[in-house]
Structure 1
Amino acid sequence: MAKKKGYLKGLGARYGIKLRKKYSIVHRVLKSKRKCPECGSSQFGRQVVGIWSCKKCGFKIAGYAYDIKL
C-alpha cells in the first residue's frame, strides 16, 4: 500500500480523486504562511471564516474564506 502524503493524508481512498485534489489545493492555500500587511510579521493567519488577523500587532482584515484579498 502506498504511503499517504501531504494534505490527502486523512481522506484515504474515499471521495474520489478529483475532490481529494481540490481539497488538497484549498488546504494548501489555507495553511500557507503569510506576512502581515501592517507590520510585516509572519504571525498572520485566519481567525475565523473570512477574518484574518495578526497575533503580533492585532491588525484585522476581512477577506475570503480560505485566502485574503489584497
Structure 2
Amino acid sequence: MLKKGGSLIGFGAKYGIKHRKKFTQVHVTLKAKRKCPECGSLKFGRRAVGIWECKKCGYKVAGTAFDVAV
C-alpha cells in the first residue's frame, strides 16, 4: 500500500498501481532540486515544458519535458 500524503492525493484505486507509480516517478523527477550550470545556485527549475531557467541569473536551456540533461 502507498503512503498517505504523498504526490498521489486524489488518485484512487481506479487508476491502477502501474499508472500511480509512473506518476510518482515523473513527479519526483520534475520537482527535484537542481543546480544551475552557470551560477551554481539551486534556483534552477522548469519554466514551461522543455524550457528550464535559473531564477537567480536568468540562464535558460532547452531540455526534455520532465528532466534536463545539461
Could you tell me the TM-score, scaled by structure 1's length?
0.89
Q: Which amino acid aligns with 2:45?
A: G
Aligned Cα RMSD in Å? Answer: 1.5
Structure 1 unaligned runs (5+)? none
Question: Identity of paired residues, percent?
Answer: 64
Structure 2 residue runs of 5 or longer lacking an equivalent are none
Residues 3-43 of structure 1, C-alpha deviations (whole Å, 9 max, x = no match): 62312122122310001001100000000100101000111
CA distance in 2, matches of 1:43, 1:18: 32
Give the C-alpha shift of residue 69 in structure 1. 1.2
Across the two proteins, how many residue pairs are aligned to each other?
69
Q: Segments of 4+ in structure 1 off by > 6 A? A: none
The TM-score, its normalising length taken from structure 2, stands at: 0.89
Aligned to 2:21: 21
